[in-house]
Amino acid sequence: MNSTSVTGQLAGRRRGRGSLHRVTWAASAALCALAVVALGAAAAALASTAPSMNTVGNDTNIAVQGPNHSLHFYWAINGTPGWNPEKITGAGTTYSAPSMTPSGNKVDIAVQGPGHSLDLYSATDGVPGWHPKQIAGGGTTYSAPSITTSPISTIIAVQGPNHSLLFYWAANGSPRWHREQVAGPGTTYSAPSMTTTSNDVFIAVAGPSHNLSFYWAVDGVPGWNPEQVAGADTTYSAPSITTTSSLVVIAAAGPSHSLDFYWQVLGGATWNLEQAAGAGTTYSAPSMTATSSDLFITATGASHSLRFYWQVLGAATWNPEQAAGAASTYSAPSITTNSAGTNIAAAGPGGSLDFYWQLFNSTTWNPEQVAPPGSVG
């Protein structure tokens, strides 16, 4: 790993100030209720695919697979009540949870398309219309993708044929996409999660025998470097990865529906394990994000509840909260933060799309319905 990519240690206290919904840090996570790694019998009850959430300018955006394998987008202006729906593309086009990233004044959304293809939809903020592009043809894509941007390109990671791991990139301003194989057959058994620093690209996946694998590359330099984060029988969901100024961090469901957290100092070689929550707490892939002082993780909990965990960076204690009670959550959630608080989106009962927000310095979670039952596929 490139030790010069990010330097310095973070310290501080939780909580901030500002207008709600404006994201300052969002994890790139491919959150998929259909992830190849099974979570056991409870996972089958997560009937809906996970949403993906971020912001562009003054808007909070949520993308989600809709009914009949369609793709839908919802946006809200920061501080203004109400959500605005858009249909991106119709039936028979979308076969995974989406992954969404801002790219300048655009929004890019990647999905698994028909016939195991890889499709991208782009829109310019404030301009009507979505523009489709096929990144890879049939027989190439076997998971929800993970999309993000680096300083020089837009990048997508996805599980490929025969449990391989594939990476696609397009230089900023170029319409041409390039393919790389990160890892060969028999290496990848979940949707990937990907993030970047100013110099490096990081990908985490569940590997063979329920291990946890990590791959990194210097941005713009050929070649991928593999590491094993955790051995066999440790990892029972797609992971979620992000970075702080000094760490790369990964969250995943562990044995017996626990929630595990791994961290490595940027430039280091040692992965360190913490248990964020014990057995019987975690029934979906987690979603994780960070601020300058804190880490936040959310996951579906027991009895379809919604759980939230936070930790001050540098501390050893994870603090649990219940964001929503039983029978509230039917997909893996997606989390972001802003200068005022924490935002979570998830599928609710009957295929509704729900949004929860909490102000910093508050213990109250506030629910909103983004879209009614029947809206999430």
pLDDT tens, position by position, 139-190: 999 999 999 999 999 999 999 999 999 999 999 989 999 999 999 999 999 9
pLDDT at 3: 31
Domain boundary assignment for the chain = 23-371
Mean pLDDT of the 320-336 span = 97
Are the C-beta atoms of residues 313 and 10 closer than 8 Å to each other? yes
DSSP assignments along 248-313, one per residue: EEEEEEEGGGEEEEEEEETT----EEEEEE-TT---S--EEEE-SSEEEEEEE-GGG-EEEEEEET
Confidence of residue 47 (pLDDT cuts 50, 70, 90): low
3-state secondary structure of 125: coil
pLDDT at 11: 28
The DSSP bridge partners found for residue 192 are: none
Mean pLDDT of the 76-85 span = 88
Q: CA 233 to CA 6: how far, in whole Å? A: 32
DSSP 8-state assignment for residue 351: G
Report the chain's C-alpha Rg in angstroms.
Answer: 18
Are the C-beta atoms of residues 377 and 351 closer than 8 Å to each other? yes
CATH topology for 23-371 is: Methylamine Dehydrogenase; Chain H (2.130.10)
pLDDT at 13: 22
Q: CA 113 to CA 248: how far, in whole Å? A: 30
Mean pLDDT of the 109-122 span = 98
Tokens of residue 65, six digits: 């697979």
pLDDT at 31: 40
pLDDT at 57: 61
pLDDT at 15: 26
Confidence of residue 125 (pLDDT cuts 50, 70, 90): confident
pLDDT at 39: 41
The chain-wide mean pLDDT, for the chain, equals: 88
pLDDT at 343: 93
Confidence of residue 332 (pLDDT cuts 50, 70, 90): very high
Per residue in 260-281, pLDDT (tens digit) is: 999 999 999 999 999 999 999 9
Confidence of residue 228 (pLDDT cuts 50, 70, 90): very high
**pTM exceeding 0.95:** no
